[in-house]
Structure 1
Amino acid sequence: MILTSGLTLFGIGLLAAAILGVASRLLFVKEDPRIALIEDNLPGANCGGCGFPGCSGAAAAIVAGKAPATVCIVSDAEASARVAAIMGQEVLEREPELAVRDCTGGLRADDAFHYEGALDCRAAHLLYGGSKACPEGCLGLGTCVRACPFDAIHMGPEGLPVIDPAQCKACGNCVAACPRGVIAVSGMTARLLHLNQTTDCLAPCRQKCPAQINIPRYIEQIKAGDYDGAVMTIKERNPLLVTCGRVCPRPCETMCRRQYVDETVGINMLKRFVADRELHSGSRLPVPCAKDTGKRVAVIGGGPAGLSCAYFLRRLGHSPVIFDAMPALGGQTRYGIPEYRLPKADLDWEIQGILDLGIEARLNTKFGKDFTLASLREEGFDATFIGIGAWQASGMYAEGEDLDGVMGGIEFLTAHALGQKPETGNKVIVVGGGNTAIDAARTCVRLGAEVTLMYRRTRAEMPADVEEIVGAEDEGVKFRFLAAPARVIGDENGKATHLEFYEMELGEPDDSGRRRPVKKEGSEQRMEASLIIPAIGQKPDLGCLYDDGEGECPLETTRWQTIVADPDTFETAIPGVFTAGDVYTGPDLVISAIGDGRKAARSIHYHLTRGDIPVPETTQKGMIPYTLFKEIDFVERKKRAVLPHLCHGDDRNCTFNEVEGSLSEEEARAEADRCLRCGLVCYDRDLREEPFLPDLRDQTKDA
């Protein structure tokens, strides 16, 4: 019996073995050996951050072509290169990326209602968008903390997520978990290309800045003593911070919320402080650039718009070449702004820093004469930027203005900057009320002339910076308001000797909002002049766009002699040709030309790399109305800093030494401390009764 049972079991075993043998041959699945090799080169973290179930799943996905060799977010570049070699691929170097937070609200942000639901941002967002009064602000419930597989995020003491750059792997889990878009994964290229969005945390000053500089961030860095960090924050939007620290009329300050408490924060003087600190440090902070793309771009014009465009193109990895008709770069910043406002040595230092990134400059090379759009294409340029400025002075529309002794404002300033020493004589009349008129007047004072500035409206309507008007008064410039030129009177040699003018009175407002000047009949008078300088406007000289000054212009232009381009992309009627600066807008601010130069570089980059130019629907184009409230409570009054003057009295009138200086470190830190660190609706309060707010700091992973 036992023998029979044993034989039966033995037979069953043999039959099972036979069946398994046959099945193994029929059903055998051979695993690709590359899977094991790849898995051996992965870190074995099994974190799932790549989107696959562990490292074995990621290895299988790579072999199946469902994931790239760089799919692992934990391994370094060397590991990715080894994985790519197994697959017979090449891994290109990718710039580092990190998760970044764009919100400054936190616990100081007001609640719209009391929320008692699930402590999850996604759940809270489903209830009227969440309890925070700010429609774009962080809800603070720590969902991003729980979503991070690398412990790279924690909720900080201000009720905002804090990201540890040493731990962050840029996996994007936090981005997917945030319902407000407060967190994004970003690298250098993404930051340079980013346009302000209405969904961003935009303080009013930042909304108003034509260059879109993150003003609250660099002021906070100054307050913390991180001066190098402040410089690099500014350079993500503006490569000419030394220049702008001296000549920018500070449109950002007109929107500073601090003005509803005492005085605006000295935003521009803080920019100048950190810019001058680098200028006088004896070295430059390294500016990173993306890997070369092999694309060449011709930048026509070396003024603020062209320099900005070339700078950002180079940082994005392209190879720009600047063409300029003048003997040195800088455009109006060099030839239209006197030395006492912007020392040329400082401008040279700043421009050289841009060129040192690897940008070629071809000087004394005139567009339309030495090269054309067609010749640039033949030379192999992949795109072209036109930023030739507005160098042609507008006339006074007065009889005799072509006489000897009449010289346009920009023509006069350029001649002086070139060292040509234009003759002023003893009595100079400058006609106009803008910064060019003021600059011409103050320059003539320094050349020893008695100067009268004639303006057809009142002082209150003058478009020049208030500080410049005051400076001209302090230096002895006389003002003749409500007066407009009628004709220039000359002697028998055709030399201007007098300016005949009318008295004016203000009528109804015109399109600019200023009251229109109206001539008083029978009010003609004469004023003696050895030099008359009309400085009442400038326009671009587009003769360079025509063949020998004749024929049809290949670009669409306006009646103001500006080039027409798409307002979102800056691309002209010719594909691959872009523009910005005064040749596009007409005479405008240096900071506006810089900002538009970056936007044009962004468009050129997308044109070269993907063929289309994305402009999100949420791109900020005007001020965001709900952020412009004026009721600022619980803030102590603090005195605004004052820039020191380097020259006083007669020293200012007889030399071109720089007039204004920079703040001291102590003054800069104190001025930075006046900043309210505004967001869309939140701001720092010095004194307040704290409303009830849930303590969210410990409600992270265990919630």
Structure 2
Amino acid sequence: MITTSALTLFGLGFGSAAILSVASKLLYVKEDPRIAQVEDLLPGANCGGCGYPGCSGAAAAIVSGKANAGVCVVAETEAMVAIAALMGQTIEEREPEIAFRDCTGGTRAEERFAYAGIMDCQAAAMLHGGSKSCPEGCLGLGTCVAVCPFDAIHMGPEGLPVVDPDECRACGKCAEACPRGVISIVGMTSRLLHLNEVTDCLAPCRQKCPGQIDIPRYIQQIKAGDYDGAVNTIKERNPLLMVCGRVCPRPCETVCRRNNVDSPVGINMLKRFVADRELHGGTHLPVPCAKDTGRKVAVIGGGPAGLSCAYFLRRLGHSPTIFEAMPALGGQLRYGIPEYRLPKADLDWEIQGILDLGVDVHLNKRFGKDYDIESLKQDGFEAVFLGIGAWQASGMYAEGEDLEGVWGGIEFLTAHALGQSIDIGKKVIVVGGGNTAIDCARTCVRLGAEVIMLYRRTRAEMPANPEEIVGAEEEGVQFKFLAAPTRVVGDENGRATHLEYKMMELGEPDASGRRRPEPVEGSETLMEADLIIPAIGQKPDLTCLYDDDAESCPVETTRWQTIVADPDTFQTIVPGVFTAGDVFTGPDLVISAVGGGRKAARSIHYHLQQDGDIPIPDTLQRDLIPYTMFKEVTGVRQSERAQMPHLCHGDERNCTFSEVEGALSETEALAEADRCLHCGLTCYDRDMEQPEEKEQQIL
């Protein structure tokens, strides 16, 4: 019996072995030996950060062509290169990236309800969008921490995820898990290309800034003493921070939440503080640029729009060349803003920092005369940026304004900047109420003239910066309000001797929202003048766009003499030709030209890299976000705003073109940075001890 059972078992075993032996020959699958070789080159971390089940899965995907040789997020560059060589591929070194949290709320964000569900952000978001009042902010439950395979994220004391840059491998797991889009994987290129979106953590100041500078971030860096970090933050959006620190009219400050408490944070003062610190240090902080792409771009015009466009193109790895008609770069920064506001030596220093990145320049080259779009294409330029500014002065539409002794505002300032001799006489009349008019008036005061400014509305309606108006008053400029020119009277030699004006009264508001000036009949008055400067507006000079033999302009233009382009991509009707700055918008702010130059550079980058496809986010921020513009800002104590120091005082200013304003001291800057509420979309810093609580303690 035992023998029979043993024989039976032996027979079954032998039969099974025979069957398996045959099956192994019939069903044998040969494994590609490269899989093992690739797996040996991978780090064996099996973290899953690449999206495949362990390093063996990643190796199989590489060999099968489902993944590229650089799919691993942990392996060093040498391993990637070895894998690529094994697969007969080439690999480029990847730009460093890191997980970045775009939220400042944390524990500051108010709770809409008490959440008692699963401690998971995705689960919380399914319940009425989550308990936090901010619709875009972090929910604070740490799902990103749980999914990170590298322990590179932890929840900080403020209830926000904190990324350890040394441990982060940019695998993207945290970004995939976040239901609010608070965390993203970013590198230098993605930061430079990003446009403000309504889903971003945008404080009101960031929304209003034409340059889209991350204002709360750089102020917090100043507060922490990280001045170089603040400079680098600003330079991600604005390469002309020293310039803007002096001449920007600060639209960002008009929506600062501190306006509802006391007075706005001195945002521009703080920009100037760190910009001047770099300036006086004598060395430009290093600015990283992407790997060269070999793509050539022609930048027409070396003003703020052209300089900005060239700067960002270079940082994105392209090769821009600036063509400038004037003897030096800067545009109206150099030829339209007087020395007492913007020293030209400082301007030269800032421009040199842009050129040192590898930007080529051709000066004294006039577009339409020395070259045109077609010749640039023949020279290998794959895209063209038009940033030729607005250099033509608008007339007064008054009889006799073509007489000798009448200079347009920008023409007068340009001539003075070029060192040309101008006979201004003893009495000068400046017509207008904007910054150009003020610059003309204060320049003439410094040249020894008695100056009267004629403006057709009241002081309250003057578009010039308030501090510039005050400065002109302090320097002796006289103002004649509610007066509009009607004709220029000249002598027998054809030179202007008087300006006739008519008194005005304000009627109903016009399209600008200001009350329309209406003439008072019979109020004509003559005013003596040796020089008359109408500074009431500027417009682009588009004659350079027309060939002598052509009947039409190669790009579309408007009746205001501006170039027509897509408002999102800045591309004209001519493929590959882009524009920004005053020639696109009409006369505007320096920071608007800088912001436009960056956005145009972004579009040019995509045009070159993606065969003309320029992506525009569906959630692009175009206007102020209404729910963030609330007026009730409670729990904040009042504090006094810093005052800009003056370098020259009294009569000393009237006889010198030395710079008038200075920068804050470090102590003043730190105190001003401390006034910042570090706002998000709805959150802001409240003082730890409320005034009511302090009063109760005293009682």
Give the aligned partner of residue 427 of structure 1. Answer: 427
- Cα distance in 2 for residues equivalent to 1:419 and 1:25: 94
- Cα distance in 2 for residues equivalent to 1:548 and 1:656: 42
CA contact (8 A) 1:543 1:549 kept: no
Give the aligned partner of residue 256 of structure 1. Answer: 256
Give the aligned partner of residue 112 of structure 2. Answer: 112
Letter in 2 for 1:82: A
Alpha-carbon distance, 1:421 to partner:
2.7
- Cα distance in 1 for residues equivalent to 2:619 and 2:84: 38
Give the aligned partner of residue 665 of structure 1. Answer: 666
Give the aligned partner of residue 285 of structure 1. Answer: 285
CA contact (8 A) 1:457 1:504 kept: yes
Give the aligned partner of residue 64 of structure 1. Answer: 64
Give the aligned partner of residue 40 of structure 1. Answer: 40
Q: Does 1:621 align with 2:616?
A: no
* CA shift digits 1:376-400 (9 cap, x unpaired): 1111110110000000000011111
Matches within 5 A, 1:146-161: 146-161=146-161
Q: Secondary structure at the match of 1:122?
A: helix
Letter in 1 for 2:381: F
Alpha-carbon distance, 1:656 to partner:
0.3
- Cα distance in 1 for residues equivalent to 2:8 and 2:92: 65
- Cα distance in 2 for residues equivalent to 1:6 and 1:535: 115
Could you say if the C-alpha distance between residues 47 and 456 of structure 1 is closer, same or farther in structure 2, counting changes exceeding 3 Å? same
Matches within 5 A, 1:507-656: 507-548=507-548, 551-610=551-610, 611-656=612-657
Alpha-carbon distance, 1:649 to partner:
1.4
* CA shift digits 1:94-117 (9 cap, x unpaired): 101100001001111101111111
CA contact (8 A) 2:428 2:451 kept: yes
Give the aligned partner of residue 166 of structure 2. Answer: 166
Alpha-carbon distance, 1:511 to partner:
0.4
Give the aligned partner of residue 331 of structure 2. Answer: 331
Give the aligned partner of residue 358 of structure 2. Answer: 358
Alpha-carbon distance, 1:19 to partner:
3.7
Give the aligned partner of residue 316 of structure 1. Answer: 316
Larger deviation: 336-345 or 516-525? Answer: 516-525
Alpha-carbon distance, 1:14 to partner:
5.6
Letter in 2 for 1:686: D
Q: Secondary structure at the match of 1:22?
A: helix
Letter in 1 for 2:623: G
Letter in 2 for 1:641: A
- Cα distance in 1 for residues equivalent to 2:550 and 2:515: 40
Alpha-carbon distance, 1:533 to partner:
0.4
Letter in 2 for 1:517: P
Matches within 5 A, 1:79-478: 79-478=79-478
Give the aligned partner of residue 696 of structure 2. Answer: none
Alpha-carbon distance, 1:688 to partner:
5.9
Q: Secondary structure at the match of 2:264?
A: coil
- Cα distance in 2 for residues equivalent to 1:512 and 1:4: 110
- Cα distance in 2 for residues equivalent to 1:425 and 1:4: 133
- Cα distance in 1 for residues equivalent to 2:442 and 2:451: 8
- Cα distance in 1 for residues equivalent to 2:228 and 2:328: 29
* CA shift digits 1:498-531 (9 cap, x unpaired): 1111111111111001111111111111111110
* CA shift digits 1:34-69 (9 cap, x unpaired): 011111111111111111111111111111111111
* CA shift digits 1:194-216 (9 cap, x unpaired): 00000000000000000000000
Could you say if the C-alpha distance between residues 65 and 689 of structure 1 is closer, same or farther in structure 2, counting changes exceeding 3 Å? farther
Larger deviation: 16-25 or 198-207? Answer: 16-25
Give the aligned partner of residue 701 of structure 1. Answer: none
Q: Secondary structure at the match of 2:290?
A: coil
Q: Secondary structure at the match of 2:430?
A: strand
CA contact (8 A) 1:211 1:237 kept: yes
Q: Secondary structure at the match of 1:341?
A: coil
Could you say if the C-alpha distance between residues 454 and 83 of structure 1 is closer, same or farther in structure 2, counting changes exceeding 3 Å? same
Give the aligned partner of residue 76 of structure 1. Answer: 76
Alpha-carbon distance, 1:294 to partner:
1.3
Larger deviation: 218-227 or 611-620? Answer: 611-620
Q: Secondary structure at the match of 1:479?
A: strand
Alpha-carbon distance, 1:16 to partner:
4.8
Name stretches of at least 5 consecutive residues in structure 2 with no aligned partner: 692-699
- Cα distance in 2 for residues equivalent to 1:94 and 1:382: 25
- Cα distance in 2 for residues equivalent to 1:641 and 1:58: 58
Q: Secondary structure at the match of 1:453?
A: strand
- Cα distance in 1 for residues equivalent to 2:601 and 2:125: 37
Letter in 2 for 1:656: F
Task: Provide TM-score, normalisation by structure 2.
Answer: 0.97
Q: Secondary structure at the match of 1:131?
A: coil
Q: Secondary structure at the match of 1:280?
A: helix
- Cα distance in 1 for residues equivalent to 2:557 and 2:3: 108
Alpha-carbon distance, 1:550 to partner:
5.7
Letter in 2 for 1:675: C
- Cα distance in 2 for residues equivalent to 1:576 and 1:487: 46
Give the aligned partner of residue 677 of structure 1. Answer: 678
- Cα distance in 2 for residues equivalent to 1:12 and 1:573: 83
Alpha-carbon distance, 1:284 to partner:
1.2
Q: Does 1:502 align with 2:502?
A: yes
Q: Secondary structure at the match of 1:350?
A: helix
Letter in 2 for 1:210: P
Letter in 1 for 2:684: Y
Alpha-carbon distance, 1:22 to partner:
2.8
Alpha-carbon distance, 1:259 to partner:
1.1
- Cα distance in 1 for residues equivalent to 2:622 and 2:5: 91
Letter in 2 for 1:639: E
Alpha-carbon distance, 1:21 to partner:
3.4
Give the aligned partner of residue 695 of structure 1. Answer: none
Alpha-carbon distance, 1:11 to partner:
6.5
- Cα distance in 2 for residues equivalent to 1:13 and 1:105: 70
- Cα distance in 1 for residues equivalent to 2:530 and 2:652: 25
Q: Secondary structure at the match of 1:192?
A: helix
Q: Secondary structure at the match of 2:498?
A: strand
- Cα distance in 2 for residues equivalent to 1:340 and 1:548: 41
- Cα distance in 1 for residues equivalent to 2:473 and 2:6: 121
CA contact (8 A) 2:300 2:306 kept: yes
How many aligned residue pairs are there?
690
- Cα distance in 2 for residues equivalent to 1:528 and 1:432: 17
Could you say if the C-alpha distance between residues 256 and 2 of structure 1 is closer, same or farther in structure 2, counting changes exceeding 3 Å? closer
Letter in 1 for 2:552: E
CA contact (8 A) 1:314 1:320 kept: yes
Letter in 2 for 1:628: M
Superposition RMSD on alpha carbons, in Å?
A: 1.5
Letter in 1 for 2:667: E
- Cα distance in 2 for residues equivalent to 1:151 and 1:11: 56
Alpha-carbon distance, 1:17 to partner:
4.7
Q: Secondary structure at the match of 2:328?
A: coil
Q: Secondary structure at the match of 1:286?
A: coil
- Cα distance in 1 for residues equivalent to 2:372 and 2:235: 32
- Cα distance in 1 for residues equivalent to 2:344 and 2:471: 20
Q: Secondary structure at the match of 1:485?
A: strand
- Cα distance in 1 for residues equivalent to 2:221 and 2:549: 52
Task: Provide TM-score, normalisation by structure 1.
Answer: 0.96
Letter in 2 for 1:24: S
CA contact (8 A) 1:61 1:67 kept: yes
- Cα distance in 1 for residues equivalent to 2:609 and 2:8: 75
CA contact (8 A) 2:635 2:690 kept: no
- Cα distance in 1 for residues equivalent to 2:101 and 2:605: 25
Give the aligned partner of residue 698 of structure 1. Answer: none
CA contact (8 A) 1:134 1:680 kept: yes
Letter in 2 for 1:190: S
- Cα distance in 2 for residues equivalent to 1:362 and 1:634: 56
CA contact (8 A) 2:636 2:690 kept: no
Letter in 2 for 1:612: D
Larger deviation: 219-228 or 5-14? Answer: 5-14
Could you say if the C-alpha distance between residues 680 and 5 of structure 1 is closer, same or farther in structure 2, counting changes exceeding 3 Å? closer
